[in-house]
Amino acid sequence: MNCVLSILATDYPVDRLTCYLTDDSGALVLYEALVEAASFAALWVPFCRKHSVEPRAPESYLQLEGMVYNGRSPGEFMNDYRHVQREYEELKARLEMLPSTIKERSDVYNNSMKAKEGDHAGIVKSHPSCACEAPPPAEGGNPLNFDGVDTRVPMVVYVSREKSPGREHNKKAGNLNAQLRVSALLSNAPFTINFDCDHYINNSQALRAAMCFMLDAREGDRTGFVQFPQRFQNVDPTDRYGNHNRVFFDGAMYALNGLQGPTYLGTGCMFRRLALYGVDPPPRRSRSSDEEHGHGGGVTVDTDTSKFGNSVLFLDSVLAALKQERRIIAPPELDEAAFLAEKTTAVSSSYDQGTDWGSSVGYIYNIATEDIVTGYRIHGQGWRSMYCSMEREAFQGTAPINLTERLYQIVRWSGGSMEVFFSPYNPLLSGRRLHLLQRAAYLNFTIYPVTSVFVLLYAFCPVMWLIPAEIIIQRPFTSYVLYLVVVVGLIHTIGVFEIKWAGIAWNDWWRNEQFFMIASMSAYPTAVLHMVVKPITGKGIHFRVTSKQTTTMTTAADDDDDGGGDDRYADIYVRDAMGAHADPAGGGAVLQRHGHRRGSGQSRRGQWSVVCDAEEACGAGYSLQRVDHGAPLSVWVGGYRPVEQETWHPLRPVAAGICGHCSCVSWCSFFSCQISSIYGDIANSL
């Protein structure tokens, strides 16, 4: 909901902005949460405009310390701030209660459970833009003065495509394509930007910055999309797992602006609608007379049903997009029932079957990295893209904060990239209008995991001198080792010039080199091995949603086996290395979570519950464990630093049961698990 609120409050004309929440689960709780967030937006949006708030996600803004006021009403700010803060806390309380509230409505809840089984009808519900009044103030507070402030809120649309058993739904790409069709029927804006749900707008000027590239007088009409870097708010200052990846974003992606531009990276990317539709850029479109084709500029574009589907209204929207026309809600010639039927058709599970959706239209299907391939297809048609980096980061999200989840993420990315090489979108064979050097860059994107094979071989070279000469045929030549030293030195010399040009800090470069070696010894070989055995097993990289908890105490919602308690208030207790109960905090500790306190004492299973509140009391040797299920948490208390009250304690995350100070153990656990999984696939196939 913070992602939605940041979009609604961004600095962009209200009548030209629509927010679509595409919920692939069809969960009732998300729809009702969106309704609650839209109601709160009537207060939050004008507050942001009045006081020039940055960032415009309330969860992030209300936790800022030492903020600099840039608004025009400093005398009213503190009163408005306290009122908005109270309203937001009430919103969070209502959102937290939604699951239990819905469960009480058993009939509705039971029907909504079908969504979890992949069986539910398509849903499209709109909350039109309006000049809503802000909620009344809390008792004892003063009303907010929004005189001279635009209080309108952009239109909000909830979209959940139809899910049917036995049909292929094409994961994220299919979800985005359903949203693309619905947005064409409702707003048909010429530009669309997509966010993952864990990202939010951190700079309210970000959309305007992207539009500067799209409307540029020289290259604007050839710009198919604008990609922003991915930045994360929950990464530690040292970025120990290389989540920011600044060498890739601020070096490689920025450098590609000199060719056809960066590739699409899955989130934080503004597209031109026509580029997603598979339409060629203006210089390459065929033209004929206006009288013959009857639409603006005499541009000839194939809009038959075999390409775009059988919705007449959607086909009309494609022709309107060619003339840069926008549709606001229902066209006048259709009544409400007919328009609802059109929207339902657009999100049906069978709509894109027998069409070009997922191949030459929309986001690409049947591949793990649909983002890279979609960007590649757009570049192959002759479009260019731009990399846009702002002084204040445009968007922020959450990243994996333990090594295991980070390596799983890299396996999925690198394995999906290698699948591109063996797909019809191989950079060597396809993309007729791709620049030669752009083709080389895409080739590098698809085969870089293979370099890990050579890194592994070089890693074993020193060991060969320890083996008796009669056992091995020949040791590596000393001259060849010197050759390697010279080559590696030259590579890093070039790298020095590159990072100086891009303005990348030395610490970011060093972290990039460190994590490349970690990935080369674990994630990359795993991805290569998956591709080697794929012809035998018929399986590619296992799709696994990356866990991106903001703290180590965040746990996935589980059903409590004994019917008591709630995972949001799961008991935590401290055990020493021998397993005995301990009270390191001296009896004064409390378990704190989002401002909710639970005093220390006996849990319902008779075990002591505590989170230590002093640095010296939490030395190495203590681990945390949940009382509810007895499953170890992915934490290690060593290195704990005390924080202010009313916040979560940021304990150091690692793989469950593995010491955070021993990365090699985490690596061995990860790699052995991957090998076991691949071996199991081979055994089952044979």
User: CA-CA distance, 669 to 631, in Å (whole number)?
Assistant: 18
Determine the pLDDT at residue 556: 30
Within 10 Å of residue 549's Cβ, how many Cβ atoms? 17
Determine the pLDDT at residue 676: 63
Instruction: Write the DSSP symbol of residue 248.
Output: I
Q: Which of 116-130, 135-149, 611-625 has the highest mean pLDDT?
A: 116-130
* Amino acid residing at 632: P
Output the CA–CA distances (angstroms, integers) from residue 312 to 40, 123, 297, 511, in the order listed.
Answer: 37, 20, 22, 53
Instruction: Write the DSSP symbol of residue 387.
Output: E
Q: Where are the domains of the chain?
A: 1-11+21-107+116-135+149-159
The answer to whether residue 190 scores a pLDDT higher than 90 is: yes
More confident residue, 295 or 589: 295
Q: In the predicted model, what is the mean pLDDT of residues 422-438?
A: 87
On the question of a cis peptide bond just before residue 400, with omega within 30 degrees of 0, the verdict is: no
The answer to whether residue 373 scores a pLDDT higher than 70 is: yes
Radius of gyration of the CA atoms of the chain, in A: 27
Pairing of strands 623-626, 572-575: antiparallel
Q: In the predicted model, what is the mean pLDDT of residues 209-215?
A: 95
Q: In the predicted model, what is the mean pLDDT of residues 338-349?
A: 88
What is the secondary structure of 590-654 as a DSSP string? EEEETTEEEESEE-TTS-EE-----GGGS-TT-EEEETTT-PBPSEE-TT-----TTS---PEE-
* Residue 44: strand, helix, or coil: helix
Residues in the chain, total: 686
The answer to whether residue 183 scores a pLDDT higher than 50 is: yes
* Residue 550: strand, helix, or coil: coil
The answer to whether residue 113 scores a pLDDT higher than 90 is: no
User: CA-CA distance, 559 to 544, in Å (whole number)?
Assistant: 21
- Mean pLDDT, the chain, integer: 75
pTM, entire model:
0.76
Asked which of 156-170, 242-256, 385-399, 451-465 is least confident by mean pLDDT, the reply is 451-465
Q: In the predicted model, what is the mean pLDDT of residues 11-21?
A: 94
For the record, the structure tokens of 39 come out as 């109601």
* Amino acid residing at 74: P
- pLDDT band, very low/low/confident/very high, at 552 (cuts 50, 70, 90): very low
Determine the pLDDT at residue 592: 32
Task: Name residues whose C-beta falls within 8 Å of residue 492's C-beta, 6 or more positions apart in sequence.
Answer: none
Q: In the predicted model, what is the mean pLDDT of residues 8-32?
A: 92
Asked which of 130-134, 420-424, 445-449, 512-516 is least confident by mean pLDDT, the reply is 130-134
Determine the pLDDT at residue 23: 92
Determine the pLDDT at residue 543: 58
- pLDDT band, very low/low/confident/very high, at 46 (cuts 50, 70, 90): very high
- Least Cα distance to 171 among 556, 544, 421, 531 occurs for 544
C-alpha dihedral (23, 303, 382, 219), degrees to nearest 10: -80
Determine the pLDDT at residue 293: 43
For the record, the structure tokens of 331 come out as 């066209």
Q: Which of 479-483, 529-533, 604-608 has the highest mean pLDDT?
A: 529-533
Determine the pLDDT at residue 408: 87
- pLDDT band, very low/low/confident/very high, at 189 (cuts 50, 70, 90): very high
Output the CA–CA distances (angstroms, integers) from residue 560 to 576, 594, 628, 684, in the order listed.
Answer: 26, 21, 7, 33
Q: In the predicted model, what is the mean pLDDT of residues 86-112?
A: 81
Annotated binding site: 24, 171-172, 196
- pLDDT band, very low/low/confident/very high, at 382 (cuts 50, 70, 90): very high
Q: Which of 75-79, 110-114, 194-198, 573-577 has the highest mean pLDDT?
A: 194-198
Determine the pLDDT at residue 583: 37
pLDDT in tens, 572-630: 333 333 333 333 333 333 333 333 333 333 333 333 233 333 333 333 333 333 333 33
The answer to whether residue 561 scores a pLDDT higher than 70 is: no
The answer to whether residue 33 scores a pLDDT higher than 70 is: yes
- pLDDT band, very low/low/confident/very high, at 483 (cuts 50, 70, 90): confident
- Least Cα distance to 181 among 343, 378, 328 occurs for 343
More confident residue, 346 or 570: 346
The answer to whether residue 504 scores a pLDDT higher than 50 is: yes
Contact 385, 261 (CB under 8 A): yes
For the record, the structure tokens of 264 come out as 């699409």
Instruction: Write the DSSP symbol of residue 256.
Output: G
User: CA-CA distance, 8 to 1, in Å (whole number)?
Assistant: 11
More confident residue, 484 or 129: 484
pLDDT above 90 coverage of the chain, percent: 32
The answer to whether residue 6 scores a pLDDT higher than 70 is: yes
For the record, the structure tokens of 359 come out as 């191949």
Annotated binding site for Mn(2+): 172, 196
Determine the pLDDT at residue 3: 95
Task: Name residues whose C-beta falls within 8 Å of residue 558's C-beta, 6 or more positions apart in sequence.
Answer: 567, 628, 629
Query: What are the catalytic residues?
Result: 24, 371
